[in-house]
A and B are shown apart, each in its own frame.
Chain A
Amino acid sequence: MTRISVTVDGTRYEDDVPSRTLLVHHLREQLGKVGTVVGCDTSNCGACTVLMTDPDGVPRGVKSCTVLAVQADGREVTTIEGLGGDHPVQRAFHERHALQCGYCTPGMVMAAVDLLREQPDPSDAQVREGLEGNLCRCTGYQNIVRAVQQAAAELRGNEAAVTQPVGVSGP
């Protein structure tokens, strides 16, 4: 067992964890943060994406199935639950119908938040490339790109883009 101290969604937790425990399992099973899901379990699908601070203090998107809980010692982690439910990216996913089954959504939203931190005004191609680490098997991505663009516009403070009518979604 190794003693770790991790701040998750603003609360600091001290726990003894087996060294082989993956961060995603620590979040779900020890801390009850079940908003973060396990998808492929092979670091492909990105469903388990959370933000974790680097030593420089910047939170960056990581796949929590490929991080050991002990590697998160001393770091701050933000899960989908830490966004509060009314984050512009969450709202945009809802309004733009950017999910069907919803399983990829927690990771997709966190990856989008991470992308917009670095690229506040991305092109559609940059959104697609920025989300290449997240797989969705039902929406076809079109509405996900639209949602990320809507959230980007809102986060930039561009009210005009936010209030334009939601069009009929293409295939």
Chain B
Amino acid sequence: MIPAAFDYLRPTTVEDAVAALAEAGEEAKVLAGGHSLLPVLRLRLAAPTLLVDLGGLPQLRGVRTDGDTLVLGAMTTHAEVAGAPVVVDAAPLLAQAAATIGDRQVRHRGTLGGSLAHADPAGDLPTAAVALDAELVLAGPAGRRTVPAREFFVDYFTTTLRPDELLVEVRVPALPGWGSHYLKVNRTAQAWATVAVAAVVERENGTITQARVALTNMGPTPVRAVAVERALAGVPVDAIEAAAAHAVEGTSPASDTTASADYRRHLAQVLARRALTAAAGS
């Protein structure tokens, strides 16, 4: 399985990358780590005429803090997101979600920005970004704009990114004192999530003051479990079980060869309860 022929560019500035995308229009694809794109190309599910490789942009790789915000370059690999002490410290949910992706080799190549821009509803990092209220910085011909993660994901494999825009940076507000947990069920090693739940909880004296819950693979985009969040505002920790039953509200899971929609709804509730319990206790 060999991809259809394409032209190849490896720009060394973001401006050049954006200019190349603007010139090529919808026929171009951005190559980050390639671990979603190359399988698609090899299966000939897509045949772009141009690949713009971000491998020549080391400025997009790495993690730093900016005040209370964790700033991750789009080309930071899953292994770096999972292992960087600053991420583990400021956004442990993101590190935990990244550590569950694929396998070692995949995590060495796959990137945070690639995962978000690919927008697979079974992807782990989109859900973590939505749960953490991350902001995504997009660079285009007219400059940069910032989009909240909750508005970035539009549909299956579809985001608000325009064809001439690049996702360059992910900004995650630190949540000091919050507990978090990412819990995923998959059938085999390396497999995508059948369902996963990201839970972030703020507690005070045994009471949950606020919670954020996001679901993986329970619809065409990551879903915020708003009904669960509402049920968890200012309640004791033992209210989690009742609240988690609301996890299916507003979801539209698919039935496929891995699981039925009914089974996914069941998993969402069970995993929400477990993830919230772990987050409230951590």
Contacts and interface: CB of A to CB of B under 8 A. Distances in A.
Query: A and B: partners?
Result: yes
Interface of A: 2, 18-22, 25, 41-44, 46, 49, 54-55, 60-63, 66-68, 70-71, 73, 111, 114-115, 130, 132-134
A16 B104 CA distance: 30
24 contacts: A19-B5, A19-B6, A20-B3, A20-B4, A22-B2, A22-B42, A43-B39, A46-B105, A55-B61, A61-B104, A61-B105, A61-B108, A62-B105, A63-B105, A66-B35, A66-B38, A66-B109, A71-B53, A73-B10, A111-B105, A130-B104, A132-B189, A133-B103, A133-B105
A134 B190 CA distance: 10
A43 B5 CA distance: 20
Interface string B169-210: 000000000000000000001100000000000000000000
B74 to A, nearest CB: 15
A44 B58 contact: no
Contacts of B41: 20
A70 to B, nearest CB: 6
The 6 closest A-B pairs by CB, nearest first: A133-B103, A19-B8, A132-B189, A60-B108, A20-B3, A133-B105
Given A66-B34, A67-B38, 8 more contacts: A20-B41, A21-B2, A43-B38, A46-B105, A62-B108, A70-B10, A133-B106, A134-B103
B219 interface: no
A78 to B, nearest CB: 14
Contacts of A130: 104
A47 to B, nearest CB: 11
Interface in B1-41: 1-8, 10, 31, 34-35, 38-39, 41
Interface in B72-110: 79, 102-106, 108-109
Contacts of B61: 55
A23 to B, nearest CB: 10
Contact of B1 (A2, A41, A111): A41
Contacts of A134: 103
A114 B189 CA distance: 18
A133 B34 contact: no
A71 B35 CA distance: 12
B34 A68 contact: yes
